[in-house]
Amino acid sequence: MPKDVPLKDAESLEVICLMDNCVDLTSSINQREVQSFRSWVAERMGKKWVEENLRLPIAEHGLSMLVTITIDEKAHSILFDAGVSPEGAVSNARGIGVNLKQVEAVVLSHGHYDHFGGLLSFIKAASRADLPIIVHEDMFKTRGVASSNGSVRRHPEFPNEAQIRPAKFVKTKGPYLLADGGVLVTGEIPRKTDFEKGYAHQRVLVDGEWRPDPWVWDDRALAVHVKNKGLVILSGCAHAGIVNTVLHVQHITGIRKVYAIIGGFHLSGKECEERIDKTAEILKRLQPELVAPMHCTGWRGAFAMAKALPEAFVWNSVGHLYTF
């Protein structure tokens, strides 16, 4: 398979979950590459800092991750999504000692408010002129979700250029590399499978009329190739389908080995739950070493992943640190 995107090998990768739907402060973790915030924060920040500054994280219906890779012995940090509330994910980051001034770029997985809600607070916290915000032009659409009676609930508006200054939007539909070529933003993800059918209830406002818009073409993922391990794929909601997402990353990088899949799989809701079994079956075939379904995966989807991949499965919590 030709390697179309020259994704560089990362020497190491860290992912810190800054926001998810769940906080679990007590469960044990049987994956050596995952630590709860209680252990890693104490190790890094020290006892005195913990006693004086540590704040327990909160959970919300949203997602945010801090991604840090080392490539050519240099560290690069990227924020992937910003949670749902204006301050929730930023507050979590500060409460566990994360320095947001290290963020070099922000990638938004798609234009739904539970992924961009905290964007303006992160921009302020990063305090970096011309901070690039990697987006897709469809994120600026006026969107809503249809209910069973035909009415449409309008979503909060996506931020505009004036609101994000001194940051700047970088619009791209295709694959895009960050962090000296070590982090891949997938760009639009082709819909190849016959069971991942998008988000049927999404609507977009065009000329004053709400129209169906099920495909969510702005949905993208991140991928890192960790040297001697394989691909680590990070998904926001996987409206494209988590299987489509993985297949696309393999195709455009030419790398087959999938080491870890982390993020939202969008298997919750009646219209999505019918794809759970097929998704679990295919992901099991890929044999990832770690799978951490988050956010919109839903408990039925997460339970199916735990059953299909018991050795690889991780129940995520806000504050978890993944180290590869």
Kindly tell me if the per-residue pLDDT of 218 is higher than 80: yes
Question: What pLDDT does residue 2 have?
Answer: 43
Q: pLDDT for 61-116, tens place per residue?
A: 999 999 999 999 999 999 999 999 999 999 999 999 999 999 999 999 999 999 99
Q: pLDDT for 179-208, tens place per residue?
A: 999 999 999 999 999 999 999 999 999 999
Q: How far apart are the first and last CA of the chain?
A: 26
Does residue 72 come out as left (phi exceeding 0), alpha (psi in the -120 to 50 range) or beta? left
Question: What pLDDT does residue 4 have?
Answer: 82
Kindly tell me if the per-residue pLDDT of 152 is higher than 50: yes
Residue 318 structure tokens: 């806000």
Q: pLDDT for 276-318, tens place per residue?
A: 999 999 999 999 999 999 999 999 999 999 999 999 999 999 9
Arithmetic mean of pLDDT over the chain: 96
Residue 244 structure tokens: 């489509």
Edge-to-edge, what's the strand order for the sheet holding 209-212? 152-154, 143-146, 202-206, 209-212
**pLDDT class for 150, splitting at 50, 70, 90?**
confident
**pLDDT class for 259, splitting at 50, 70, 90?**
very high
- Supply φ then ψ for residue 103, to 5 degrees: -70, 125
Q: pLDDT for 154-175, tens place per residue?
A: 999 999 999 999 999 999 999 9
Question: What pLDDT does residue 311 have?
Answer: 97
**pLDDT class for 1, splitting at 50, 70, 90?**
very low
Question: What pLDDT does residue 3 have?
Answer: 55
Kindly tell me if the per-residue pLDDT of 248 is higher than 90: yes
All structural domains of the chain with their residue ranges = 9-323
CB 252 within 8 A of CB 4: yes
**CATH code given to domain 9-323:** 3.60.15.10
Q: pLDDT for 13-67, tens place per residue?
A: 999 999 999 999 999 999 999 999 999 999 999 999 999 999 999 999 999 999 9
Q: pLDDT for 129-141, tens place per residue?
A: 999 999 999 999 9
Model-wide pTM > 0.75: yes
